[in-house]
Amino acid sequence: MKTADGVQESGSCCELAALLEDTEKFVSSYGSIIERAPLQAFGSALVFSPMKSLVRQAHWQERLLFIQTVAGVRNHWDAHRQILEGHGSEVKAVAFSPDDNAIASTSSDGTVRLWDAATGSYQQTLTGHTRSINAVTFSPDDSIVASASGDCTVRLWDATTGAHKQTLKGHGRWINAFIFSLDGKLIASASHDCTIRLWDATTGVLGETLDGRHRVNDVAFSADGKIIASASADGTVRLWDVASLAYRQTPTGHTHCVNAIDFSYDETIVASASGDCTVRLWDAFTGECRQILEGHNGSVNTVAFSPCSKMLASASSDRHVRLWNATTGSCEQILQGHISDIKAIALFPDGSVAASASDDCTIRLWNVATGAHQQTLDGYSGEVKAIAFSPDGKVVALSLSDGIPWLWDVATGAQWQLIEGGDSAPMALSPDGKIPASTSDDGSTIRLWDEVAGAHRQVFLRSLEKERPNHAPCVCGEWISLDGRNILWLSKDYRPTSVALHGDVIVLGYDTGGLTFLKLNLDLDNG
């Protein structure tokens, strides 16, 4: 590799290490599309890799000929390592294998997918459930993948071959969660039918049934296998003795349903995640509340302890993962990047990596030590509803979901004018670029504005119509296409909610409020 040779000749071990790290991120981010469409190594992989990427800088001159310039791409790699795509619907749960080599994910599409944890490459799909799969886990010896579904069954699969081994039947309603005991001998499952059932993991035979009194959302074993904890819809946590099956106590305090629980690895703390937007830490022996962790702005859907028991991760409908000091209760990191509810969280056995699964149909891997990179928005926020250029291409107008249009200088990216007034959606500009026009969300009105003062000038009751010119590129899902051919793949972070075209410039707008400008010379299209 010529880049590596250049670094080695400079004799800088630090530069070589930086290059290798950057190359690893480049490959993990774009390896899947390069495998499917090799030319995208010189297309989307270079276009959407960060501006400061060493691989990008070294190979930018080798990009596909039609790619001229790009603006609005982040400067540095995000803290998340990979995005695993493939599920046809929302991701419900995710789990690492104990040996760190595999990831299992489940979806409301009724499938389990297995991935290589190192490369992010897809391995196989396990099918058989007839409804959404809510939970997945590996047996402690890595040999079995177990999944629990809304079809009231738990299925056991061979983790290597994907072959179906057994189906555990007995619950009368939806199974919300299940778990292996650490010795791998027992499986505990929790259900809408208000019960916790214990199964022999080898034979699949149902052993005992515990009465949870209310819908049971989650279940967990202590590390020594002596205690079972359950999370209930009535806002309580229940503790049971495994040997005697005796009910021990019911810690109370949450004001909404308890969605998930987890034991610390030292067996002293039970963490509970609730719809009341809090996480509570309980003494596993006395049931006393030790800490209330506050900060999430939505229902806390799941929690997970690090193996050292010193750190706790929580995931919420507010789209954030929070990392907490389990001793002091202080929030150490906030991981941001998902664009929908986060429903599951898992940690590498060494605690260095967190995996989060979201309703945005993605799984993100995060570096726990560094946390997430927060994107900086240039002066505005909100979902971009529409974008329009002035005919001379010097001005771009944005219409946001909050009803406020914005004007920007295309050459410099500088904000010109914030225009305040009614709800707006599609945007257009007069031929001289001086009079922005915006339409209402329902398309029934047009508003004219003064570009300089930002004042509202006039209202017309009509709608705007635009036609796409012939031989113009089309943004279709994950591709930019031309004349029916896919020419540039859009990575997950750069798939727009709005698009504007002017000559050879494409502007991609996102629900985060961000913009990316692509200047393409389509006469030089390599296809």
Long-range contacts made by residues 42-46, C-beta under 8 angstroms, separation at least 24?
Answer: 43/67, 43/487, 43/488, 43/489, 44/488, 44/489, 44/490, 44/491
Give the alpha-carbon dihedral of 399, 401, 402, 404, to 10 degrees: 0
Q: Are 193 and 178 in contact (CB under 8 A)?
A: no
Backbone Cα Rg of the chain: 26
Query: Which CATH superfamily hosts domain 137-383?
Result: YVTN repeat-like/Quinoprotein amine dehydrogenase (2.130.10.10)
pLDDT > 60? residue 388: no
Mean pLDDT of 296-303: 94
Long-range contacts made by residues 281-288, C-beta under 8 angstroms, separation at least 24?
Answer: 281/312, 281/326, 281/329, 282/237, 282/251, 284/222, 284/227, 284/229, 284/239, 287/237, 287/239, 287/248, 287/249, 287/250, 287/251, 288/251
SS3 36: helix
In this prediction, residue 303 carries a pLDDT of 93
Buried b (16+ CB within 10 A) or exposed e, 347-373: bbeebebbbbbbbbbbbbbbbbeebbb
Residue, of 330 and 203, whose pLDDT is higher: 330
Q: Look at the block and give the residue holding tokens 């891997």.
A: 365
In this prediction, residue 380 carries a pLDDT of 37
Output the 3-class SS for 481-512: EECCEEEEECCHHHCCCEEEEECCEEEEECCC
Q: How confident is the model at residue 499 (pLDDT cuts 50, 70, 90)?
A: confident
What are the residue ranges spanned by the domains of the chain? Answer: 14-79+425-520, 137-383
Query: How do residues 75-110 score in pLDDT, each as one tens digit?
Result: 888 766 666 767 777 777 888 888 878 888 888 888
pLDDT > 80? residue 120: no
Query: How do residues 461-482 score in pLDDT, each as one tens digit?
Result: 333 334 445 567 888 888 999 8
Max Cα separation, the chain?
83
d(CA 338, CA 357): 9
Residue 105: both structure tokens together: 């994910």
Mean pLDDT of 156-161: 90
Q: Are 365 and 80 in contact (CB under 8 A)?
A: yes
Residue 222: both structure tokens together: 């202590």
Mean pLDDT of 473-492: 88
Q: For residue 289, give the amino acid letter.
A: C
Query: How do residues 408-451 score in pLDDT, each as one tens digit?
Result: 554 444 444 444 444 444 444 444 545 455 545 444 344 545 54
Query: How do residues 280-297 score in pLDDT, each as one tens digit?
Result: 999 988 888 999 999 999
